[in-house]
């Protein structure tokens, strides 16, 4: 993989390198944790090369609904860690609800490193039936920057209706998932 990055980066280094790094993190580190090794083998075979005759479009139901599964993996706490991976004494952990639209905390409070260390050290929130979304996302979304807090769960469902998606039951039958 490193050799591949090196070779391609000789051609257009500043454009390709971040792109490949993102692909590697997504395919090698992230996706197997999300869908598991068996589904990886079955649905996502090894990347071979660019192929211009493959249609890259995705289903409306995936783009608008399924891909938002990630909202269920977000923690209510945004950790900020020092170089020893302990809570930063000057810039402590934040509540997610107080973290929206505050780039100043990135620029003036130790840069991006304290946030990245938090992402490295702690796993995602586990999806559970009783806590799909943390309340920071459904009762306190963007609270600090708007008159009324937003609600990500409602936005997600309403957006599905905007896009004319079929209901949950119908999708599950279509994609052969267990029906409730
Ligand atoms: C703190 C983290 C996050 C916040 C606050 C957030 C918030 C939002 C908001 C407000 C929208 C637009 C809702 C609407 O009006 O329809 C949205 C859309 C979306 N989110 Fe997130 N999100 C977060 C993380 C994630 C993650 C981790 C994933 C997936 C792994 C994800 C996937 C999506 C997708 C696919 C859309 C639809 C994008 C589109 O079609 O334009 N989000 N999110
Ligand atoms: C590219 O994709 C098309 C359509 O899936 C396939 O028929 C073809 O064999 C692929 N070409 C290469 C070089 O893999
Ligand atoms: C990080 O914080 C811990 C706990 O407060 C402290 O013991 C440690 O010395 C700090 N590390 C650095 C590099 O500042
Ligand atoms: C956001 O609002 C909460 C509650 O009113 C407040 O405690 C917090 O300091 C605010 N955060 C920012 C960054 O304005």
SS3 44: coil
Residues with CB under 6 A from ligand 1: 63-64, 67-68, 70-71, 74, 152, 155, 159
At 173 the pLDDT is 81
Looking at the predicted structure, is the pLDDT value of residue 145 above 80? yes
Give 98 Cα–ligand 4 centroid separation in angstroms. 6
Mean per-residue pLDDT, 145-154: 94
Which structure tokens are listed for 140?
């306190």
Q: Where are the domains of the chain?
A: 2-47, 66-166
Looking at the predicted structure, is the pLDDT value of residue 92 above 70? yes
Q: CA-based Rg of the chain, rounded to a whole angstrom?
A: 20
Q: How many CA atoms does the CB half-sphere of 146 hold within 13 Å?
A: 12
Mean per-residue pLDDT, 132-150: 95
Q: Which atom of ligand 3 is nearest to the CA of 87?
A: 2
Q: Which of 25, 78, 152 has most ligand 1 atoms within 8 Å of CB, for mutation?
A: 152
At 175 the pLDDT is 74
Residue with tokens 């990886």: 40
Cα dihedral 157, 128, 77, 103, rounded to 10, equals: -30
Cβ partners under 8 Å of residue 106, min gap 6: 112, 115
Q: Which atom of ligand 3 is nearest to the CA of 85?
A: 1
Please report which ligand is nearest the Cα atom of 87: 3
Residue 57 Cβ < 6 Å to ligand 2: no
Residue 39's alpha-carbon distances to 42, 47, 59, 71, 92, in angstroms, are 5, 15, 18, 21, 39
pLDDT band (50, 70, 90) for residue 16:
low
Q: Which of 46, 50, 53 has most ligand 2 atoms within 8 Å of CB, for mutation?
A: 53
What would you measure as the largest C-alpha separation in the chain, in angstroms?
53
At 151 the pLDDT is 97
Higher-scoring residue by pLDDT: 93, 28: 93
Looking at the predicted structure, is the pLDDT value of residue 180 above 90? no
Please report which ligand is nearest the Cα atom of 47: 2
The angle at the Cα of 64, spanning 73 to 148, to the nearest 5 degrees, equals 70
Give 4 Cα–ligand 3 centroid separation in angstroms. 38
């Amino acid at each position: 993989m490193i050799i591949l990055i090196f070779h391609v980066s000789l051609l257009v280094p500043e454009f390709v390198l971040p792109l490949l790094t993102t692909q590697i993190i997504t395919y090698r580190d992230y996706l197997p944790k999300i869908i598991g090794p068996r589904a990886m083998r079955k649905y996502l075979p090894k990347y071979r090369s660019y192929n211009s005759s493959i249609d890259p479009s995705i289903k409306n139901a995936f783009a608008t609904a399924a891909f938002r599964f990630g909202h269920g993996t977000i923690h209510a706490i945004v950790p900020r860690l020092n170089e020893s991976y302990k809570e930063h004494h000057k810039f402590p952990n934040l509540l997610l609800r107080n973290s929206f639209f505050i780039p100043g905390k990135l620029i003036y409070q130790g840069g991006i490193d304290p946030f990245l260390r938090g992402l490295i050290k702690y796993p995602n929130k586990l999806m559970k039936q009783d806590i799909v979304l943390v309340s920071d996302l459904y009762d306190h979304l963007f609270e600090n920057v708007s008159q009324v807090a937003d609600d990500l769960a409602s936005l997600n469902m309403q957006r599905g209706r905007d896009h004319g998606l079929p209901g949950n039951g119908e999708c599950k039958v279509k994609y052969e998932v267990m029906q409730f």
